[in-house]
Structure 1
Amino acid sequence: MSIKNYKVAAALAIFCTLLWGTAFPFIKVGYAQFGIEGNDIGSKLLFAGARFTLAGIMVLFIFLVKNKHLPKIEKNGIMPVMLLGSVQTFGQYIFTYIGIGFTSGANTSVITACATFFTVLFAPLFFKSDKLNICKIIGCVLGFCGVLCVNSGGGVTVDTLFGDFMILMSTLSAAAGNFISKGIVRDREPISVTGFQLLFGGILLLIAGFVTGGKLDFSSIKGLLVLLWLAFVSAAAFAIWTALLKHHPASRICVFNLLVPVFGTLLSGIMLGESVFGIETIVSVVLICAGIFISNMQIKKRCER
């Protein structure tokens, strides 16, 4: 079945959100295995740089194996791809990797859902095919209420507020990255754009990590496996996501990002033993799922017409 088919696209989008949901608890496990302390920002950036550089290499290697040659980016496409790497990879994850050390994995995954609201609300300003309607507005309001709800259970400190703010800033970069990505892949191969932007953004993060005195302890086999998994998550999810954005409206695809907190919250509870199954988390998940359902309900009706 073609990726242009709505059901196929929806299934792939859900798969991407599942992969991204695993990232939050795995990042914390990675910090522990590489000996990265909560306030060691340089090492966090180095860890992020290693992850995304490896992810970019993975994508380009897959392209090489499949096509027997490396992908090429024409001269007028170099700057757009570099911009995408600077925003979607470097900009988004420099905030994520700083913030995740100061807040819980559950909070991180839920606040990240704000990228969906920014994308849906601002997409009409950039793409004529993405029109704002009452269902999208209601879906965003419900989802945002879910984001607020997860932080209403107490235990808020200066550190958690700082961490939550950093994660919120990363969502702005993620939303901007969605718009830039959709514009770039209109007449370009999604997998080549993904590979080069991940590689470029990863290198920027590596440089930032080295400059700020970051260090990584590669003695842990478990740590290396975690790093490889996170690289695979980025390579697979971003490659699929970029292809979906090429063939579908940004708001139609990005609304599925609301599922990231569902997977991220559950996995954070299972893997990290975080207390995520309180009433606040349950209500937030219900509100977020209601938001994605209502947004997609209108989309389906339009498709059927």
Structure 2
Amino acid sequence: MAVNDGSGWSGIGWNDWTNLSLIRARLDAGADPNSGAFFPEWPLCAAAEYGSPEVVAELARRVDDVDAEHEGRTALWEAVFANRPGNARALVAAGTDPWRPMMNGWSPGRLSLATPTPDLFTFPDGEADLSTTETAAVAEAGRLIAALGRLDDDGHSIACTAGITAAEAVRRLEAVLFDEADVEEIMEDLDDSLTIVGVTDVPGGCVIVQPWGYVASNSGVMERLSVGTVCYGLFANPKSGNQGAVARDGVIEEWDTHPGGSSVDAEESAEEILATYLYQEEAEAYCYARAGLRPIDNRSITGQADMWLRLPEHLR
């Protein structure tokens, strides 16, 4: 076990990257600015994502290469992705290149065009602006997040399916319709309530919801819904966080994903990298967006479904 003896980077937490005197003292005592055994990323990247411009400037002054990459991205990319414009400016002042290609075409400079500070860097001649599709995705993210609003409760599940109606979802699931009064009575029996889901038509498709459980996003439900289309599912697990899945044409394509997270791999598509940036901490909105759904409000996820259904036992 590492001992926090005041040397190296031992004992430094994410909140400590705003403490200039502490970080400077560690550096003066011999902590390596180019590596940190206790972090999944090198110190300058951690400071760019979590720290202050003063700490970023101090580390940038001491590293061997301010443009060094960790897992396909530079510290400047981390600052832009984390919406830390002050940290980004400190890195540019230290000489980092905003337009260095990385992350499947998303240089820090190009990604900044999708942020709340699109004028963060001077746009050079010859660089690619956001495409029409990307510009529309940025605008839709703002609209969709506002439409859904803040969803503070955990424990719900959803399945966002493109291109089918609520009536078609009922048919595919071989479900039995209930009226809302019946649902309220059934909800008193937690075990029985796990067979009950709501379904709502929204522009672009429909949404299955279970406000009190995981069943809307289980594999059997998503496989049936996704035949000939795509379905993005989410269980907001109160114990372990958001658990996502993607089904396409009746087959689970991805399982145990983390929608609404802030981590992305260089191997991801350019579209997925942009979506991950736009929907950080917005797991539900991410699922709607990736399925191409465009709700005008949040009733499809807040228990105001168009119809309530009892699922067959084998789909629980």
Q: TM-score, normalised by structure 1?
A: 0.24
Write 1 or 2 for the structure with the bigger share of helix.
Answer: 1
Structure number with greater Rg is 2
Write 1 or 2 for the structure with the bigger share of strand.
Answer: 2
